[in-house]
Structure 1
């Protein structure tokens, strides 16, 4: 029996076409079973296309999906009246637009997806915030790109979707030291773990960057990709299980 696409939504984005999707409701099989949308996952291209179509239909039917070639950077691109074709995606990790009938899409498999909007200005954004992009300022660049389209910091609302949570995210001392060197206050996002290791609160760090940037309202969904194998894909979980491939889920936002 086919399952409907699961769409997780944020109250701060009520009234906007948006959703944080997982793996439920797709046609892929094997290690990437479900709603796998990752072009680089090794999955069958026809299944990926079907899953992407289902994702669009679940959030904003008839819209054009726009994504980027994600590289764990802080770079953000603006989508205009003529979006690039899928085969010519720019290398970046965030998108913004003020155009209607487009769906901005960010793929994740433990990293934090961030959806943003200024309803009054009619400007939206989506960011892929893994630890590398987060510490490099991907959310800051997204906010600046939104401002260039007329958004105001204080009017922007943001939601941080499903990602690996602190209980599941073990890191080593070198990782901890990198964040501490960037800002001593970053140590508040780490809890001691087993000897020589720490548990990192990625979503908490991303929220702090949004707060520091002056975002008006922020919501954190607190859904753990690692700990929910039936609902979400997880790179780390797939690695720990020795699976040959891992799927990617998508988070979407658009203007009607």
Structure 2
């Protein structure tokens, strides 16, 4: 059975943060791997994405994803695209288009202004958030008629602070941007620190003026039965990893 995590804050819009349960993939990709960029069998990925589309009640061709490159770039969709553009966020005011984001520790962020009829979805790893992908998504939504105060943003399953160990250079790059960013780090072993990615994402969203922002509080690293994790795969020296999908549609 496919498992879908939803947020009351995004109701009544159709949306879901899909776990890895209920898919056709096997081996290290066991479950619902929706990443065409993985080395999984393309047939299995296609089946998985079709199951997601069915759960979202859209045609598989209307389940849109982008070629994610850890950028602040946003694509505005008025119709389904035949190719995946290089970007890390999408927005639309067109009914029937489902916006999908692939993750395996990074933040999937789903946005909605139900009154204006505008939605968005962003792939928000540390680099993308630092470079402004969340604010760029909000700008693209307001260009379609949304208001920042009317937008709800929900961060789905991602890596939690307890599992996100980083080096001193990483910390310094954030402190250089703003000394207040020290609050997103806790002490780790030796010279290492633990980075709170979802807290950083929430802070950026709230500072940008969204009406409501929350995290579902699911950690991808610590729950291998439900979530894929790039960092866990790296620690286990596995050859590749699956990609979770998070989707929203009008």
Alignment TM-score, normalising by the size of structure 2? 0.98
Partner-residue secondary structure (3-state), 2:205: helix
Secondary structure at the aligned position of 1:179 is classed as helix
CA RMSD in angstroms, aligned pairs only: 0.8
2:52 equivalent in structure 1:
55
How far apart are the structure 1 equivalents of 2:144 and 2:72? 18
Q: For the Cα contact (< 8 Å) 1:127–1:138, is it kept in 2?
A: yes
1:142 and 2:137 equivalent? yes
Gaps of 5+ in 1: none
- In terms of mean alpha carbon deviation, does 153-162 or 60-69 score higher? 60-69
What secondary structure, in the 3-state scheme, does the structure 2 residue paired with 1:47 have? helix
Q: Are 1:40 and 2:76 counterparts?
A: no
* Structure 2: runs of 5+ lacking an equivalent: none
In structure 1, what is the Cα distance between the partners aligned to 2:85 and 2:208? 25
Q: How does 1:1-256 map to 2 (within 5 A)?
A: 4-62=1-59, 64-80=62-78, 82-85=79-82, 88-255=83-250
Question: Hey, what's the Cα distance between the residues in 1 that align with 2:168 and 2:76?
Answer: 37
Segment of structure 1 superposing worse, 54-63 or 130-139: 54-63
Q: Once the 2 structures are TM-superposed, how far is the Cα of residue 61 of structure 1 from its aligned partner?
A: 4.0
Q: 2: distance between equivalents of 1:184 and 1:57?
A: 46
Deviation track 1:192-248 (CA, whole Å, cap 9, x = no partner) reads 111110000000000001001100011210100000000000000001001111000
How many pairs does the alignment contain? 249
Cα pair 2:58 2:97 within 8 Å, conserved: no
Aligned-residue offset at 1:83: 2.1
Q: Which structure 1 residue ranges, 4+ long, deviate > 2 Å from structure 2?
A: 59-63
List per-residue Cα deviations over 1:66-94 (Å, max 9, x = no partner): 111000001111001x3211xx2110000
Q: Secondary structure at the match of 1:223?
A: coil
Contact 2:10 2:112 in 1 (8 A): yes
Task: Provide the C-alpha distance between the structure 2 equivalents of 1:83 and 1:194, rounded to a whole number of angstroms.
Answer: 47
